[in-house]
Amino acid sequence: MHSVLSKYYNYFFLIVILFYNLFPKKVRPYVLLLSSLVFFYLLSGWRVLFIVITIITIYLSTLWMEKIDDKKNIELSNCNSDDKKSIKEKYKRQKRLVLILCLLINVFFLFVFKYLKFFTININLLLNLFNAGYEFSILRLIAPIGISFYTLQALSYLFDVYNGKIEADKNFFRVALFMFFFPSIMEGPITRYSDTAENLFEGNKITYQNLCFGLQRILWGLFKKIVIADRLNILVKTVFSGYMEYSGPVIFLGALSYTIMLYMDFSGAMDVVCGIGNIFNINVPENFKQPFFSKNISEFWTRWHISLGTWFKDYIYYPISLSKPMKKMTNSLRKLLGNHYGPLLSGTFALFVVWFLNGLWHGAGWTYILFGLYHFVMISIGNITRTPFNKLYTKLNIQNSKILKGLQIIKTVFLVILGELIFRAETVGSAFIMIKKIFTSYKVSSWEISSLGLDVPDLFILILALIAILVISILREKGISVREKLASKNIFFRWVIYYLLIFSIIIFGAFGPGYAPVDPIYADF
């Protein structure tokens, strides 16, 4: 997988740039569409058929919904006021049936490719437990690349049309380009149709300024991945594969390294995607916002993988919370527990569903489900305790204390590290063993330190690179745009920075024997 993706970064993107500007404005969106189709085919082969099916079903379903609304409006304009309610209900049911049919088709493909094996294995375990004497055969299917991303993106468009937030687009090619624009097909971000579709189809010419801004962002992303993430991968693999041999501090170091590696790899990939968007003058939404400056887990997930969190909030959490049964439960609990804890407790059910599905979305495995449930518990505890703690901080007059904020950030980072340990662990059992060791096994041997795969130069490079990342993050957290500051400098200074970044990647990148490049986390999704 990594070699294929490397070819994409090195060759495919450059070819697209060259061809894109050769064509007139009206043709350029189709160049991007064809490029996306070719890219998807190169990575998934004949499985490109499934994203084509997704595009067609979503496109036809939304047009169908639009026709239902047109019929409803015509009938409403020619009826008595007494009949309006029944007419609205009739057409609402029709739209709902179309929605359900389209959902079933697309979720079915996602289930078969991503979850069928997991569910089959667990059903067989249950059958063996009860001595049923029968087992289901396990299908080993290779999923189309990016299936989790393009499915959620497609469903967001479907839901928005169903809810009347946007009109169904009659331009099939615009819908198709929105669904699988090649830079974001692997790892997102999960965009909204209203935010990107028109922008994708504008066909703006690549300018020198856009090219420079885009390449800056791409280089920064490659720096994160190649210099930091790929260098840390060997340590992470060593610790997580041999956790029984290591003490608590080393396991914690492995979990910390994995958390940093994950952030550098994923945010680096987003930098590349945003950079490509910059080049084509396409506005790709940010997916990270300095997550490690968060004061609690809830805030962390508003800064990390922002598009996924927003998707679950808008299409899972709110629909459940605002449903009639939940409103009744909220009113009952409000009377029993008060205006604060009543709604908070009723909303916990919706939160549970969100985090169970969030964990399952990340992967078909019990560690991913546990990862989701872990964050559900942490966020729930935070929601319950936030008000009394805020009252305490106000009483002590430390609510604005920098020390308090620092301690809150440290606590959040620690909880995130434990969560990522669960995410990375091979089994639920190994996750619990590793966490237990962190809190109970403190003796570190010299062998442990020497066996981690990183020498002194590696550590030195990592420290310098992480300091650079930290400085940039602090500036961004303060609202300072480093790119704008750099753009205001003279051309000599700018190119010195560019060359420093390029040579840093070339010289200090984790290439060659002894290193294990990280496959993008969602590459197989």
Quote the CA–CA distance of 509 and 517 in Å, as a whole number.
10
What is the pLDDT, as a whole number, of residue 435?
Answer: 96
Quote the CA–CA distance of 234 and 263 in Å, as a whole number.
16
CB atoms within 10 A of CB 413: 17
Q: What is the pLDDT of residues 422-451, one digit of tens each?
A: 999 999 999 999 999 999 988 888 888 888
Q: Where do the structural domains in the chain lie, given as residue ranges?
A: 2-205, 207-288+451-525
What is the pLDDT, as a whole number, of residue 521?
Answer: 63
Sign of CA dihedral 351, 356, 361, 363: positive
pLDDT averaged over the chain? 89
What is the pLDDT, as a whole number, of residue 487?
Answer: 80
Three-state DSSP state, 248: helix
Which pair of tokens denotes residue 213? Answer: 């801004």
7's CB contacts (< 8 A; 6+ apart) are: none
What is the pLDDT, as a whole number, of residue 523?
Answer: 53
Q: What values do phi and psi take at 99, rounded to 5?
A: -60, -50
Quote the CA–CA distance of 340 and 318 in Å, as a whole number.
18
Nearest to 501 by CA among 170, 342, 271, 314: 271
What is the pLDDT, as a whole number, of residue 2?
Answer: 46
What is the pLDDT, as a whole number, of residue 102?
Answer: 96
H or E, element range at 317: none
55's CB contacts (< 8 A; 6+ apart) are: 154, 172, 175, 176, 179, 180
Three-state DSSP state, 514: coil
What is the pLDDT, as a whole number, of residue 30?
Answer: 94
Quote the CA–CA distance of 411 and 302 in Å, as a whole number.
17
Nearest to 204 by CA among 278, 264, 130, 102: 278
CB atoms within 10 A of CB 8: 16
Three-state DSSP state, 288: strand
Q: Apex CA 375: angle with CA 252 and CA 155, to 5°?
A: 125
Torsion angle defined by CA atoms of residues 188, 191, 195 and 196, in that order, rounded to the nearest 10 degrees = 50
Quote the CA–CA distance of 471 and 122 in Å, as a whole number.
47
Q: What is the pLDDT of residues 453-487, one digit of tens each?
A: 888 889 999 999 999 999 999 999 999 888 888 88
* 189 preceded by a cis bond (ω within 30 of 0): yes
What's the chain's length in residues? Answer: 525
Quote the CA–CA distance of 41 and 43 in Å, as a whole number.
5
Nearest to 427 by CA among 363, 518, 364, 365: 365
Whole-prediction pTM: 0.92
Our measurement of the distance from residue 261's CA atom to the centroid of its chain's CA atoms, rounded to an integer in Å, reads: 15
E strand spans, 1-137: none
| Buried b / exposed e along 168-206 (16+ C-beta atoms within 10 A) | bbeeeebbbbbbbbbbbbbbbbbbbbeebbebbbebeeb
Q: How many CA atoms lie within 13 A of 258 on its CB side?
A: 24
Mean pLDDT by 10 residues, the chain (525 residues): 49 83 91 90 88 95 94 85 83 94 95 90 87 79 86 95 94 93 85 90 89 90 93 93 93 96 94 92 92 95 95 94 86 80 82 95 93 96 90 88 94 97 95 95 84 88 94 92 83 86 89 72 56
Which pair of tokens denotes residue 394? Answer: 């106000």
